[in-house]
Structure 1
Amino acid sequence: MHGHGTSARTADAQRASGARASRAAKAAPASGTAARTASADEVTRLKARVRELASELTRTQEATRRRVAQELHDSLGAEVTAARFALANVETWLPADAPPQCTTALETAQRSLDAVTEAAQQAVTELHAPTLDKGIVCALSHWINTFAARTGLRMSFVCAADARLMRLSADASLAVFRVAQEALNNVAKHARASGADMRIEATAHHLSIVVSDDGIGIPPHAGQDERQFGLAGMRARCNAFDGELQVGASDGDASGTTVHARFEWKALMGNASRPRARRTAIRL
């Protein structure tokens, strides 16, 4: 009897141990799934926070641009006008036997004021938000033509014929425009290039801007201070729409730099429906 009772208790213990092991085995996958879900939720939350901060940064940048443009237009314009009147008065008061160097100096001053006025007007134009009523493609095409005429750079612009480009919101269009604008301004300021090519590419999930130049290539220190090349602002605009920015040497043996800015269509379009992209392209 004693042996039989011991065997029964041993069997009961083994069954209980097996049940606990079974429950633990069932709980382990559930625990792992919960951990993965929590991790995925945290990643989603962090991505949303990055988008929020990037959007706030770009809004601040645009507000600063408007403020600086207004200050240039008002204050600098008034000062230049006052200087022109003063020079005109000096020219009027000059005696007939004044040395020719006086007239030459006045003419030099006038040319300097003309240069300052032109530079200020160009700066105000660059700082103001572009007119996007006719869409991002039209705005970029117009700006690139003006840019090429002003800088003397050879330019080409190829854009994917995608209907979604015409339905971008004002914020999305402005982000795309500013990234393209800054990339080309960097070419004019730093690349010592003779030409640059811009492409707008569209896939099912992403809109990309690719700018390549034939200049001296990206400086080794470019990554140390992104503010000098406007890369921080460009990166923030990409991040605001779940995208990324890559800057590096051009492919192949050619010299130069290539900027690749990518935006996610889903973020650009919000909740708007997204028809399938067409694979043709238009050249402007």
Structure 2
Amino acid sequence: MDTSTVVPFNRRPAPSIDTERELARLRARVRELSAELVQAQEAACRHVARELHDGVGAEVTATRFALANVETWLPADAPPQCAAALAVANRSLDAVYDASRQAVADLHAPSLEAGIVGALAQWTGDFATRTQLRTSFVCAADVRLTRLPADAVLAVFRVAQEALNNIAKHARAEAADVRIEAGRRHLTLIVSDDGIGLTRNARTRRGHFGLSGMRARCAAFDGTLRLGSRRVATGKESRGTVVIARFAWDAMLAAAPAPERRVLQS
């Protein structure tokens, strides 16, 4: 038997050129669709922010004036319950105003002039002040971070923002940590907490708007999103959550404008 024609059973055939081209086409299509989804989400955020600012803000202001008028119209012998009810209404308006203002701030795209490092450093500081959670931000020193175009910066920022907001809403945590690692092929964003950990169905909630948006932002730059649990040593064993978002450098930097070339004149 001529063994020169025998192909080892455990050796997979190399993908054909047509197969590689089809895979590349499908990956490009995934990036395109993910980018379209992200653009739709940002447009929806801008619309909701305008409605909150113009609609809710105007209604809260009108209600404040109405309550102030009611207070001036109360007779001197009005029952004390009337003044107490007005105070409760005003406190409720204050809570609505503060919540809507924070929602508008979250929905608006941040200033990206300082790049991803500056944007995240400022937002995590504001987050710590607002939530009273111990929050840290650590970032790798990599020159590529300074060359990221605005849409890539926004993608990384939005994933971190959503992850932190989820911690504040659901984790019952005392601390949150944000870290950016710069590998050879990927930028990796890691957001972790020391809270109660993932619920039983958290990993499979693919229809959840926040998680789907985070996945789309990663996929738009050839990346992935993973959620996991971590154990935190705090005197007693507890469970925390970690979000790991990866973005491909090649995809993020592809849209960056070429640096200007200075022409020296003799």
Per the normalisation by structure 2, the TM-score is: 0.87
Alpha-carbon distance in 2 for matches of 1:103, 1:81: 19
Residue equivalent to 2:246: 262
Give the superposition deviation at 1:198.
1.0
**Mapping of residues 49-64 of structure 1, within 5 Å:** 49-64=29-44
- Out of 187, 197, 200, the residue aligned to residue 220 of structure 1 is 200
Q: Does 1:41 align with 2:25?
A: no
273 and 204 in structure 1: CA distance in 2 versus 1, 3 angstrom threshold: farther
Aligned pair count reads 244
- Secondary structure of the structure 1 residue equivalent to 2:167: helix
1:241 partner SS: coil
The Cα shift of 1:212 comes to 1.2
Equivalent position amino acid for 1:270 in 2: A
Within 1, Cα distance between the matches of 2:26 and 2:40? 21
Unaligned runs of 5+ in 2: 6-12, 259-266
Counterpart residue identity of residue 126, structure 1: D
Identity between Structure 1 and Structure 2 (%): 62
Q: Which residue of 1 aligns with 2:8?
A: none
> Counterpart of 1:261 in 2: which secondary structure?
strand
Residue 119 in structure 1 maps to residue 99 in structure 2: yes
Question: 2: distance between equivalents of 1:188 and 1:109?
Answer: 26
Shift of 1:204: 1.4
| TM-score normalised over the length of structure 1 | 0.82
Q: Match for 2:104: what amino acid?
A: V
Q: How does 1:196-215 map to 2 (within 5 A)?
A: 196-215=176-195
Counterpart residue identity of residue 251, structure 2: A
Deviation, structure 1 residue 34: 10
Question: Pairwise mapping of residues 21-40 of structure 1 onto structure 2 (< 5 A)?
Answer: 36-40=16-20
Structure 1: distance between partners of 2:14 and 2:241: 45
Instruction: Return 5+ residue gaps in structure 1 as ranges.
Output: 1-24, 26-32, 275-284
**Structure 2 letter corresponding to 1:102:** C
- CA separation in 2, counterparts of 1:113 and 1:39? 61
Shift of 1:126: 0.2
Q: 1:219 to 1:203 in 2, by over 3 A?
A: same
How far did residue 35 of structure 1 move?
Answer: 6.9
Consecutive aligned runs of 4 or more in structure 1 exceeding 4 Å deviation: 251-254, 271-274
Q: For 1:95-125, what per-residue CA distance to the aligned partner results, in whole angstroms no more than 9, with x for missing partners? A: 0100011001001101110110000000000
Q: Is the 8 A contact 1:193 1:216 kept in 2?
A: yes
Task: Choose the corresponding residue for 2:129, options 125, 133, 149.
Answer: 149
Query: How far 1:220 moved relative to its partner?
Result: 1.0
